[in-house]
Chain A
Amino acid sequence: MNKVKLTIDDKQIEVEKGTTIYKAAKQLEIEIPVLCYMNLEGLNIENKPGGCRICVVEVEGRNNLAPSCSTEVWDGMVVHTHTMRVINARRTVMEFILSDHPKDCLTCAKSGNCDLQNMAVKLGIREIPGQEYAEMSKYKTDFSPSIIRELDKCIMCRRCEMMCNDFQTVGALSAFHRGFQAAVGPAFEMDIEDSPCTYCGQCVAVCPTGALTEKDHTRDVINALSDPTKKVIVQTAPAVRAALGEEFGMEPGTLVTGKMVSALRRLGFDYVFDTDFAADLTIMEEGTELLDRLTKFLAGDKKVKLPILTSCCPAWVSFFEHNFPEMKDIPSTARSPQQMFGAIAKTYFADKISTKREDLVVVSIMPCLAKKYEAQRDEFKVNGNPDVDFSISTRELAHLIKEANLDLNKLPDEDFDKPLGESSGAAVIFGTTGGVIEAAVRTAYELHTGIKLDKLDFEQLRGFEAIRKATVDFDGTPINIGIAHGLGNARKLLEEIKAGKSEFHAIEIMSCPGGCIGGGGQPTHHGDSSILKARAKAIYAEDAGKPIRKSHENPYIIKLYEEFLGKPMSEKAHHLLHTCYFDKSRKIEID
């Protein structure tokens, strides 16, 4: 590799050819402020349109300032990162950006966690010259079940557009108009609800301002908790416990399961349950379905569709409903853990505590924004009453905890309530890419072969690579497994299936980078992918420490089948735990 020597702020450094000034400076621990630039290292996600021009630096011999995020170094380059010329330019550009940005930080969902706000502080902005007569961009605010778009706050960093198109290949968002009118949104500025959006929430996860935020349900939750006529129960998804601590100053990757339970109890939830319980249930249903299809397939039944695709990710479900409707009979019909939990809670559990469906409020804590949309899908309602009433994100939970003056750091560790709070290690790893399929393999292997696994860690299924392939030997029968995280990667696998070239028996798909740990409802990663890796590590650690690590060994699951469901894929299970999919593709029709 070619090496290049350069000088930044009088310090010499040698870096590889092709390195940008920003990255070279980082190696010297010189921090150059960036706004539109974002690099999720190891995930192959990089946004560097060179648009905001905050990261400009002075390069000797060059007429104008250079954007450090996208200017490559050359041999003998001399860079000054903080001269008065640079500082004046950054401030002036920042004043430009803020002059077209609403100043409603008091009520903005992003306040306190906003890259733009932080930058304004860093650059010492105290006034916006000419603000009183500066025209501001005006757009309508777009409300959807999951995502709220306030385009007035868009600074054209293009991160959301990059995520939606390059990473997810959803194509719901694009830059439109030009010049001062330019912004990013769906075609014809239609509501996002009418676009092919899957609500994966990755646009929200990367938005540096309050232009894209989640639909906030904390108000609804507070109302339910303060209503004495309601029983309010809560379920928490696996990825939440690996990230919630970050909102309270803890190191990324700190597990806060017990403290989280304790906080939820103090917030007033009548029962604190675990979505992991439902994840175990998912494995029972989905694993049985897999084995059923597999057995028939191996016996030569041509009607059986393989590979089977996981169906616990609601954004992924929307994705194939929009883009691959002709393949809607391939994914497992198993509902997601959130919805299985809701269905069981409002039947089995409601009976147990003798509460009417209408008086039981089910709240879910999710790392995800698509779960908000999923919870209000018609097929998950009984007489208009949803199985899951409100789905709030990890971020919203953190807000609630802080609002209630609870310090997560100081809370004692407590256990989930029974019966819907018991779970296996297999359920915990649902929170990271490869986890669902690993959990399914643990159960399917044992049920299929009748042999007890002596090693439960399937390392070949783990990691952050975009598409992973592994073959697991089911006692003589090789089972090919595919894993993709990110819908763009999923698309590649789907195209293979469509072309009849897929070698897989089972595929796990998660929409978000790293799986649910990188979900759109998680604490903002601010472009640091090491945070995602730390969360994944925490998830695997929790699994390793669990006494039960296989879904079919969860005693409360066994009991649920004995007392209520019968067996996996029974009629009752079908009714409560399975679903069907719809063709949501855009249709051109003759008028």
Chain B
Amino acid sequence: MSNIKVKVKEKDLNTIKEICKSFDNKPGELINVLHKTQESFGYLPAEVQEVVAQELSVPVAKVYGVVTFYSFFTMLPKGKHPISICTGTACYVRGAENVLQEFKRQLNIEVGQTTDDGKFSLSCLRCVGACGLAPVVQVGDKTYGRVSPEGVKEILAEYSEK
């Protein structure tokens, strides 16, 4: 007959509470709150969503419903160097699929996964608005244009020492 307990670190709890407060704890600000929260934590694990739900007085099921609706939100931690491959039309037409396959092969992970050493994670995104440079790959904040499958090794090498 015990209640459900959600464990959160005190520091994290305070961070989330502050974020919610900065939006006046309004339920309508849920998406803005989630953006800020993900910015601080890198991802949105279940316990973080529980706290957000409680602070904004929104059922946690609804918070989860929103988090899983939008592709920008993630419940999994990303790698140190998140790799995003643009699979927008322009990139597709210029062979983004082959580039993606090469990344998967080299890293030995699927889209949405992170390498065991936590270094790289792989995701696809839809058009970064740089179609002139297609196919485009982003690693962290850095953008690479005209990437070919042969160039994948080189890109990864840039991050191997870091």
Chain A residues close to B by CB (< 8 Å): 165, 170-178, 185-188, 194-196, 325, 377-379, 582-591
Contact = CB atoms under 8 A, between A and B. Distances in A.
Given A178-B68, A187-B63, A195-B61, A589 B5 contact: yes
B49 to A, nearest CB: 7
B87 to A, nearest CB: 16
22 contacts: A170-B59, A171-B62, A173-B61, A174-B59, A175-B65, A187-B63, A195-B61, A378-B1, A582-B2, A584-B2, A585-B3, A586-B4, A586-B60, A587-B3, A588-B51, A589-B6, A589-B7, A590-B7, A590-B9, A590-B13, A591-B7, A591-B9
Contacts of B61: 171-174, 176, 185-187, 195
A147 to B, nearest CB: 15
Interface in B38-60: 46, 49-51, 53-54, 58-60
Given A174-B65, A590-B9, A165 B3 contact: no
B41 to A, nearest CB: 14
Given A178-B69, A187-B49, A586 B62 contact: no
A583 B65 CA distance: 26
Q: Which 9 A-B pairs have the closest CB atoms?
A: A171-B59, A174-B65, A174-B61, A187-B64, A591-B7, A187-B60, A187-B61, A584-B3, A176-B68
B106 to A, nearest CB: 28
A140 to B, nearest CB: 16
Nearest to B16: A588
B52 to A, nearest CB: 11
B10 interface: yes
B65 A587 contact: no
Contact of A172 (B50, B51, B59): B59
Interface in B8-25: 8-10, 13
A569 to B, nearest CB: 24
B13 A588 contact: yes
Contacts of A170: 59
B51 A586 contact: no
B33 to A, nearest CB: 16
Nearest to B53: A187
Question: For the side of the interface on B, what is the size category?
Answer: 20 to 34
Contact of B50 (A377, A378, A586): A586
A116 B61 CA distance: 26
B74 to A, nearest CB: 13
Given A174-B65, A187-B49, A187-B60, A582 B1 contact: yes
A154 to B, nearest CB: 14
Contacts of B13: 588, 590
A378 B2 CA distance: 11
A165 to B, nearest CB: 7
A196 B59 CA distance: 9
B69 A588 contact: no
Given A176-B64, A178-B69, A590-B10, 10 more contacts: A171-B58, A171-B59, A176-B69, A177-B69, A187-B61, A194-B4, A582-B1, A585-B3, A589-B6, A591-B9
Contacts of B62: 165, 171, 174
Contacts of A586: 3-6, 50, 54, 60
A587 B49 contact: no
A590 B51 CA distance: 11
A188 B8 contact: no
A175 B49 CA distance: 16
B68 A177 contact: yes
A588 B4 CA distance: 9
Contact of A188 (B3, B7, B10, B46): B46
A488 to B, nearest CB: 13
Contacts of B53: 187
Given A188-B46, A588-B50, A176 B65 contact: yes
B50 to A, nearest CB: 7
A165 B69 contact: no
Contact of B8 (A172, A175, A588): A588
Contacts of A188: 46, 49, 64
Contact of A583 (B3, B8, B49, B54): B3
Contacts of A177: 68-69
Contacts of B54: 586, 588
A294 to B, nearest CB: 30
B69 to A, nearest CB: 5
A111 B63 CA distance: 34
Contacts of B60: 171, 187, 586
A116 B62 CA distance: 27
A474 B5 CA distance: 46
A377 B50 CA distance: 26
A408 to B, nearest CB: 39
Chain A CB within 10 Å, residue with most, of B1, B59, B61, B64: B61
Contact of A584 (B1, B6, B7, B63): B1
A414 to B, nearest CB: 40
B102 to A, nearest CB: 27
A195 to B, nearest CB: 7
Nearest to A581: B1
Contacts of B8: 588-591
A588 B65 CA distance: 20
A172 B61 CA distance: 6
A307 B53 CA distance: 30
Contacts of A379: 1
A196 B62 CA distance: 12
A489 to B, nearest CB: 18
